[in-house]
Amino acid sequence: MTYRGRFAPSPTGPLHFGSLVSALASWLDARAQCGAWLVRVEDIDGPRTVPGAAEDILATLERFGMRADEAPVWQSQRIARYQQALEQLKSTGLVYPCGCTRKEIADSLLNAHARNTTLAYPGTCRKGLHGKPARAWRLRVPDGDAAVITFDDRWQGPQTQNLATEVGDFVLRRADDQWAYQLAVVVDDADAGITHIVRGADLMDSTARQIYLQRCLGVATPAYLHVPVVTNEHGEKLSKQNGATALDSDKPLEALGAAARHLGLELGSEPPATLEQFYSVATAAWAKRMNLRASA
């Protein structure tokens, strides 16, 4: 198998330290396995996309010495593929239109909470819209044992999620006419032939949904590795939304060294003088760390 990995930033602001950690981990994993590393700009979430942020992220990756092996893919140019995937799922009867408003769902979840039952979407529209206009499209998740998705995360170990009780039928096409991240990411990774996904652990919770979606669409499931997220002083995930500052692109070695330390990589006592030196030492350290895990 030829390794194909990727980094998939959402252009909601400039690259910050948290996203640098994900970029670096995916880059080192691809390099350590002599694979291809691709970049995909996840710019379909219209309301969250900041003009110019994608170009800024691509330029920062370049300045930090992470060069993609193929031209970047832009999700905004792949809408027809998401529509095709939705049609494919419609033809199998696995998706249905949903007319619930956020408030209706929140109210039913509050009731469920009061009754101590599941907090998953209760499947209100499974049997029809009951006269309500269609707002979103949802994917039906299986009941019983079939709802349990397990996978082995290369960093975090064995994972299990029950889609029926923990998630419920999930949205593929949103009420605000946007494509849901879950659908886009699965279609894009499959079309790009991605074999290994390396990303932040905040996305761990989405992985079971994505594996189920891969099965529904009849595409391969890649290997997964979720690296620990970077948190701020309040213990919140560092994100563009909570004010993470842009990286100082004049000092790539400093930021890369800190990102490598966050990943627990031993870089030796001599600080690297060039980007080439840094990547060579960091790739060896990553390979060592992953091999140790693999043989543990």
* CA–CA–CA angle 41, 47, 52 (5° rounding): 50
The residue among 8 and 38 lying less far from ligand GLU, judged by its C-beta, is: 8
The residue among 29 and 42 lying less far from ligand GLU, judged by its C-beta, is: 42
The residue among 135 and 199 lying less far from ligand GLU, judged by its C-beta, is: 199
The residue among 122 and 200 lying less far from ligand GLU, judged by its C-beta, is: 200
The residue among 25 and 94 lying less far from ligand GLU, judged by its C-beta, is: 25
Q: How far is the CB of 195 from ligand GLU (least distance, A)?
A: 14
**Sign of the torsion angle spanned by Cα atoms 90, 7, 162, 124:** negative
Q: How far is the CB of 7 from ligand GLU (least distance, A)?
A: 7
Say if CB 141 and CB 167 are below 8 A apart: yes
Q: Which residues touch 176 (CB under 8 Å, ≥6 apart)?
A: 47
The residue among 135 and 226 lying less far from ligand GLU, judged by its C-beta, is: 226
Binding site for ligand GLU (CB under 6 A): 8-10, 42, 185, 199, 203
